[in-house]
Each structure stands twice: as C-alpha cells, then as structure tokens.
C-alpha cells in the first residue's frame, strides 16, 4: 500500500501552471550507490584514511536502551569530544551511525533511510548484544537479530549495555580500522546492494519508499 504523499499527483505551481509530480522519482535519487575507488597511490589513500579517522561525526539517532549511554558520553561526564568525536543532528552532516541496541522492524526502516542519506565514507557501529545476535530480544516478534544482514557493520561493541568507556574504546578501535583501510562498509554496501535490499525487504513488508533514497 503506497502512502498518500508518495502517490503521483498533479500540483499547481505558484505561477498557475499545473504539472505532474511523481514523488518517488522526482524527490529521490533512483541511482543505486556506487563504490568509491581508493586514491591513485597507496600513500595518498593512507593519508586520506588518517584524516578520516580523525573526523568522526555521529548521527544523534538512538535506538534501544543503549542510546542512554550516549548522553553521558556526549556531555562532560565522559566527554567523547576529547577524542575528536562529535554528534550531529542530521544524516547529511554525519558519517558514523551508531545503532545503539535492538532494532524493531519499524526502526530498521528509519535506520536504513538515515544510513543511505549519509555521505561517503561512512561507518556503522553496532552497540550491544541485540545488534549482534538479538540479545534478550532474540525471541521477539518485532526485532531483527543480526544487524549486519541489513547494513554493513564495521565494528560491534559487546555488552548489555556497554558502558561509555567501552564505547570510547570502540571508537578508538574504529579509528584503527579506518587507518588500516579496513572500514569499507559504504563500498561493501554498494557492491552487495542487491543482497542488502533483499534482506531488508524480507522483513520490511510495507516497503513504501524508494530503493535508494539519498
């Protein structure tokens, strides 16, 4: 069932001219993501990766219980800003998506949209048992059990829930992965795009959005 606002409709512009709008084609990009080749020389790519590792911007989007731990982390108590990690309010300005716990199918849909709207290069960190194997929601009718089936995860942080210190350690590890050129999630997503979409559509039954929407 297509949502009302996504249906093709005729709109009247301010100048009185009527025209047809197909929101799925006109408002969103239809092209699938493409993988981004490394720079022409390894030393340059290494330099890029070094720079990327120092530029982590987290999308302020919380799911599950783990989001609670991000509050002390982004404020003076644990102060992640010391490590060059900052939070942004919109996917356009962020490159690190922290999935902070269980994802219901409904939230998964929003998380996918948020992920796809982020600019490359981008990273995903899964927080807590729920993202790894379902955690204590393993028998829930409404939560997914392994995040990496639906989006490319660079790093998992175990625990239920992991403390802020564990997150800080995780971010440091992520930086190492980025510097080693091993955090290629965005490219992996582009290369296995069909596989990810198939998995996503297997659980999201009311798929009423474009396949790729940034």
Partner 1 sequence: MMRALHDRLNALFPLGELTEQRPDLAFLTVPREHLRSIILHLRDLEGFSHLVLLTAVDWLEEGNFQLTYLLSNRGKAVDLGLRVMIPRDGASMDSIHDIWPTAATYQRELREMFGIQFPDSPGVNDDFILEGWIDMPPYRRDFDTKAFSAKTFKEREGRMTTDPEQHMKQQLYPDGA
Distance CA 62, CA 74 (A): 13
Say which residues have a Cβ less than 8 Å from residue 65's Cβ, sequence separation at least 6.
Answer: 100, 101, 102, 128, 161
> Which member of 142, 169, 172, 180 binds partner 1 (CB under 8 A)?
142
Task: Decide: 84 and 48 in contact? Cβ < 8 Å.
Answer: no
| Closest separation in Å from C-beta 102 to ligand SF4 | 5
| Closest separation in Å from C-beta 206 to partner 1 | 3
Query: Which residues 149-178 are close enough to bind partner 1 by CB under 8 A?
Result: 149
| Nearest Cα to Cα of residue 150 among 120, 115, 121, 174 | 115
101 binds, among ligand SF4, partner 1, none (CB under 5 to 8 A by kind): ligand SF4
42 binds, among partner 1, ligand SF4, none (CB under 5 to 8 A by kind): none
106 binds, among ligand SF4, partner 1, none (CB under 5 to 8 A by kind): partner 1
Query: Which residues 100-129 are close enough to bind partner 1 by CB under 8 A?
Result: 105-106, 109
Site of tokens 């390894």: 42
User: If binding is defined by CB under 8 A, does position 192 make contact with partner 1?
Assistant: no
For helices 164-179 and 42-53, angle between their N-to-C axes, nearest 10 degrees: 160
List phi, psi (to 5°) of 25. Answer: -95, -35
134 binds, among ligand SF4, partner 1, none (CB under 5 to 8 A by kind): partner 1
Distance CA 130, CA 137 (A): 7
Residue of minimal Cβ distance to ligand SF4: 101
| Closest separation in Å from C-beta 138 to partner 1 | 7
Positive or negative: CA dihedral 81, 87, 93, 97: positive
Q: How many residues belong to the site for partner 1 (CB under 8 A)?
A: 22
| Closest separation in Å from C-beta 122 to ligand SF4 | 22
109 binds, among ligand SF4, partner 1, none (CB under 5 to 8 A by kind): partner 1
């Amino acid at each position: 069932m297509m949502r009302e606002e996504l249906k093709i409709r005729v709109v009247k512009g301010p100048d009185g001219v009527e025209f047809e709008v197909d929101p799925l084609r006109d408002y969103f990009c239809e092209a699938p993501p493409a993988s981004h080749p490394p720079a022409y020389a390894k030393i340059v790519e290494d330099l890029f990766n070094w720079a990327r590792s120092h530029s982590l911007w987290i999308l302020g989007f919380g799911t599950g219980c783990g989001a609670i731990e991000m509050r002390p982390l982004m404020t003076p108590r644990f102060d992640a800003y010391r490590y060059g990690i900052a939070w942004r309010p919109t996917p356009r300005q962020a490159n690190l998506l922290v999935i902070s716990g269980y994802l219901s199918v409904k939230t998964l849909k929003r998380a996918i949209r948020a992920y796809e709207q982020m600019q490359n290069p981008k990273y995903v960190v899964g927080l807590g048992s729920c993202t790894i194997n379902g955690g204590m929601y393993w028998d829930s009718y409404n939560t997914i059990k392994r995040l990496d089936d639906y989006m490319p995860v660079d790093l998992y942080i175990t625990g239920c829930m992991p403390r802020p210190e564990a997150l800080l350690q995780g971010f440091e590890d992520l930086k190492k992965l980025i510097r080693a050129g091993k955090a290629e999630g965005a490219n992996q997503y582009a290369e296995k795009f069909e596989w990810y979409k198939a998995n996503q559509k297997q659980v999201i039954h009311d798929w009423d959005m474009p396949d790729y929407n940034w």
